[in-house]
Structure formats: C-alpha cells, structure tokens
Amino acid sequence: MSTFQLPSHGALLNAFMYIAAGNGPHPVVVLLHGFPGNEKNLDVAQAIRRAGWNVLYFNYRGSWGSPGDFSFSHSIEDTAAAVAYLRQPGNARRLRLDPTRIVLIGHSMGGFMTVQATAADPGIMAFGLISAADMRGRMKLPLPDDPRMLAGLTKGYEEEGLAPLAGCTAESLARETIAHAAEWDFDPKAPALKTRPALVITSDEGLAPYNDAFVAALRKAGDTQVTTLHLATDHAYSDKRLELSGAIVQWLGKLPGAPR
C-alpha cells in the first residue's frame, strides 16, 4: 500500500494505492467514491487487488480532508488529474503500474465522474458503473425556469449530508447541477464511449431506469461490449457485497491484458 498526495489544480488530494503482488507492471483501477462518500467500497478494492490489479482511491477536492472547495466540476477535474498522475513515468515505475491499462469504476456520483472522465479521455481502457448517478436525473431538457427545481435539488443534497464536504452548500451544488445539466447528460456521451468495454451494475434504489437508458444509448451508438447486472439490494449493496466484488473481478478478468 502506498499513500501519497495527488496534485490537482493547486491542491494536494489525499490518495493511496493498493499495489498488487509481484513486480508488475500491473493494470490499474481508479475507484471513484460517491456523494458524499460514506461507502468507500474498499472491500471491492481489496478483491480487485487480489485479482492482480492495482487500485487507486482518492478524495476529491474539499471532501474527506482533501484541501480545496468541493464541487462537481472540481471533482471532474480531479478525476482527470488522477489519471494524468498515473501516466507520469516516474509514478508508474514507483507504483508498478501499466499506464496503458487504466480502468475507471465509480459508485453513484463516482459513476457520474467515470462517465465524464472516460468520455473525455480515449486512453482509458474500460469503465464500470455501480448505480451511477446521472446528475441530470429527472430534469427534462430544456430546463424550465422553475424555482421548485432548485428547491428540490437543494433539499436532496441536504438530505444526503454535506458534513464531509468543504467549500460548498446544498444550494451551490444544486445551482451547479442545473447550470451544467445539458453538458453533463449521460446519453450524449455514448458515441465517445462506444469503443470501450463497459460494466453497468444496478440495484433497487431507483437509479436503474437511468442506467438502463444509458445502456440503451451505448448499444445504439454501437458499443457491443456492454455487460449488465442487477442486484436486488439497496444503494450501498449492503447485503450483496460479495456478489458485487465477484461481478467486478469477473468482468475485469475478461479485459485485454488482464492478469492470469
């Protein structure tokens, strides 16, 4: 295990990497946490490492003690910065990783970060979504000028809990979501993702229809490498942790260049 600070736009993010056994270089998974990040999925990370992959975990700016202000825009930038860090030759040697075999896997809001980052970076080999949160959600485009939308989003973020986050309010995050709704919409990203293997896992908490729609968009765009799984459980996969880890490890094992 290696702990370090990951530079992103003037801040040093708290980060660590589980390093697989052996000299490597190992393929690497960037595991992205959700909002605000209480479920960190580190049991999944350990299972992935046992399968021969390195796993990078980090906290976005303004979350869980990482300096800076939290926002969704900053978190998108932080995810790209994490991938850039892995590609630096010195870091790749030190961490015994293969910078040409990077996979992003995100839970909830981390799934949102995964879609945004992978669509913008053709060098990412594959991506996995665990109950991904399409931040546009139920908002229909074009957005109506309705103060109830802002109020509803603000209340939702308040209920999620902002205690681990700094430099933001529920209202500031709601306003950011509305301002970027069209830009961040999942479905238009499908053409940029259609050549990459994808894993989409859903549960019973209510996000499955949005993930199913994204799967349909990927397949319509021509992606023939989409794997799906639905588990009858809650958003944290509380009673399906072994099934969750097993499905992810099995999918990773089928990717090109996976450890044998």
From first to last of its 260 residues, the chain has per-residue pLDDT tens of 999 999 999 999 999 999 999 999 999 999 999 999 999 999 999 999 999 999 999 999 999 999 999 999 999 999 999 999 999 999 999 999 999 999 999 999 999 999 999 999 999 999 999 999 998 776 666 676 778 888 989 999 999 999 999 999 999 999 999 999 889 999 999 999 999 999 999 999 999 999 999 999 999 999 999 999 999 999 999 999 999 999 999 999 999 989 98
Confidence (pLDDT) at 139:
67
Kindly give the pairing relationship between strand 11-18 and strand 2-8.
antiparallel
Eight-class DSSP state of 208: H
Provide the terminal-to-terminal Cα distance of the chain, rounded to the nearest Å.
Answer: 22
For 87, other C-beta atoms within 10 Å of its C-beta total 13
User: Within a 13 Å sphere around the CA of 111, how many CA atoms are in the beta-carbon half?
Assistant: 24
From CA 200, how far away is CA 205, in angstroms rounded?
15
Q: Please report the beta strands in the chain, taking only residues with DSSP state E, as ranges in sequence order.
A: 2-8, 11-18, 26-32, 54-58, 97-107, 126-130, 198-202, 226-230
Confidence (pLDDT) at 129:
98
Q: Domains of the chain (ranges plus CATH)?
A: 2-253 (3.40.50.1820)
Confidence (pLDDT) at 149:
86
Tell me if the pTM is above 0.85.
yes
Confidence (pLDDT) at 144:
66
In degrees, rounded to 5, the angle at the alpha carbon of residue 23 between the alpha carbons of residues 21 and 28 is 70
Kindly give the pairing relationship between strand 198-202 and strand 226-230.
parallel
Confidence (pLDDT) at 82:
98
For 14, other C-beta atoms within 10 Å of its C-beta total 17
